[in-house]
Homo-oligomer: A and B are copies of this chain.
Amino acid sequence: MFRAAELGQTVSKKEYKARAPDIRRQLLEAQVLLSRTADFSVMIDFAGVDGAGKGSTVNELHGWMDTRLIKTNAYGPQSEADRQQPKFWRFWRDLPAAGHMALNLRARYSTPFLDRAYGRINDLEYLAALKRIQTFERMLADDGMLIIKFWMHLSREEQQQRLESLQADPETTWRVSDRDWEHWKMYDQFIATAERTITETNTDFAPWHIIEGTDTNHRILTVAEIILEALKSRLKVHGHQPTPELLVDPEAIDAEDPIPEPPDRHVTVFSVLDMKTSLAKPDYRSQLIAQQRRIHLLNREAIEQNRSLVLVFEGPDAGGKGGAIRRILPTLDARNYRVLQYGAPTDEEASRHYLWRFWRHLQEAGHLTIFDRSWYGRVLVERVEGFASDREWKRAYAEINDFEDQLVEHGTIFVKFWLHITPDEQLKRFKARKRTPLKSWKLTVEDWRNRGKWYEYETAAHEMVKNTSTHVSPWEMIPANDKNFARIRVLETFGDYLEAALQGN
């Protein structure tokens, strides 16, 4: 069964560079379409041989797609709470909502698979376990969910090489455990069990795809193409076609710029920022690598210390929040972070205090949560657009300070960034977005309209900083007209916070 995945397929760097951008763009478009129409959800499982790139493929997919619409679920041993419930409870708990995607690692197949490979259960018991999984998958697929399962394969020799090379590198040696070598010795049992698993659960509604895990470029391209095809054909079945109108408003941006004159004596905390700071590309490149390496190591230490991490990104539209976040992600493992963006509250959220929907998404210890916009919406967009009453947004400063105090007091490593740009720079970026297919999905009519309220937003932001930049959680204000400079400054600052917090321990 796995012979076809031992062909030594590779994709050269050149070919990769030629094919990847288009797939990426189409994936993003499909994802936007999925989230806007929101009539089905997607669940993608990664299973297979240790070292065949399950985790790194998941990480790469986060870089390719809009990570705010993805949740990675990595299942370890059952927690205290899990053990009090039927086995599938945690899989039900994590079901993605329509419009969203789940990427699963070590999910429902993992425990029965290992039990069978180790001989702790017999073949009949294993079949019963697979039957239960299949029932689960059928139920979800019947309900409209798109289910895709990847089996990442390596030959016995390749696995050995992979484990050895990971072990040889001081920076990755921690990833190889005795258990991995034990499993390698059991290679034949594992392959036999894998065959059985795939044979029994390879269905039309939840198909397996066997992926040759050796070559990184080949692996990610193949996986991405399979996901793209599945998404496209499903969206077609439902009659959704990616229409350009849905993604951009091509007319608006050429109409008259809605930005008003600045008010008299408009001086804010941002006036003192040196908006001309920049960083040359070669410096950026070398510093990027150094800073990412630093954060990678510090973050591993933070996970080992079981610290929680929370980052907040705020700032004008097109200020570069997403780009700065994407420079952090490669240093992390998708199993340990989540990027959140909040739209309109759900009805469960709307029927409670507005901070509830942020509290509910705080993750367990050892995880990083990145808020791409946050609770500060209360004193920014909700204030400016009149969604919150005067009394509501005015009392929010103290409420927010109290919330953040609690995070910090608990030991959470907490940083909040304001990425600042000038109105001219925003206009330049809006125009550039329009021209770049990969970015066009990011420009909405609303962004354009908000530009007309630039100074109202800036005043609200000024008062926000005044009222919520406290000793325990100061605002890190970054001049972001130059993307390179801003990205490096964000990484540096995050690294400094990490260092200070970890040394404190």
Contact = CB atoms under 8 A, between A and B. Distances in A.
A256 interface: no
Contacts of A92: 355-356, 359-360
Using C-beta atoms within 8 Å of the partner chain, give the interface range for chain A: 35 or more
Interface in A285-337: 306, 308
A85 B142 CA distance: 37
B139 A402 contact: yes
A251 interface: no
A37 to B, nearest CB: 12
Interface stretch (A24-32, A46-54, A346-354): A346-354
A406 interface: yes
Interface in A51-106: 79-81, 84-89, 92-93, 95-99
Interface in A413-450: none
Given A143-B353, A347-B346, A365 B395 contact: no
Nearest to A366: B84
A6 interface: no
A405 to B, nearest CB: 8
A198 interface: no
Interface in A110-166: 132, 135-136, 139-140, 142-143, 145
A406 B85 CA distance: 9
Contacts of A348: 97, 346-348
A84 B365 contact: yes
A406 B409 CA distance: 41
A135 B396 CA distance: 12
A399 interface: yes
27 contacts: A41-B351, A41-B352, A84-B306, A85-B410, A86-B362, A86-B407, A86-B412, A87-B410, A89-B359, A92-B355, A92-B360, A93-B359, A96-B352, A97-B351, A97-B352, A98-B351, A98-B352, A132-B402, A139-B353, A142-B391, A142-B392, A142-B395, A143-B354, A346-B348, A347-B347, A347-B348, A348-B348
Interface of A: 38, 41, 79-81, 84-89, 92-93, 95-99, 132, 135-136, 139-140, 142-143, 145, 306, 308, 346-348, 351-356, 359-360, 362, 364-365, 391-392, 395, 398-399, 402, 406-407, 409-410, 412
Given A84-B306, A92-B360, A139-B353, 10 more contacts: A41-B351, A79-B80, A86-B412, A95-B353, A95-B356, A97-B348, A142-B391, A142-B395, A143-B353, A347-B348
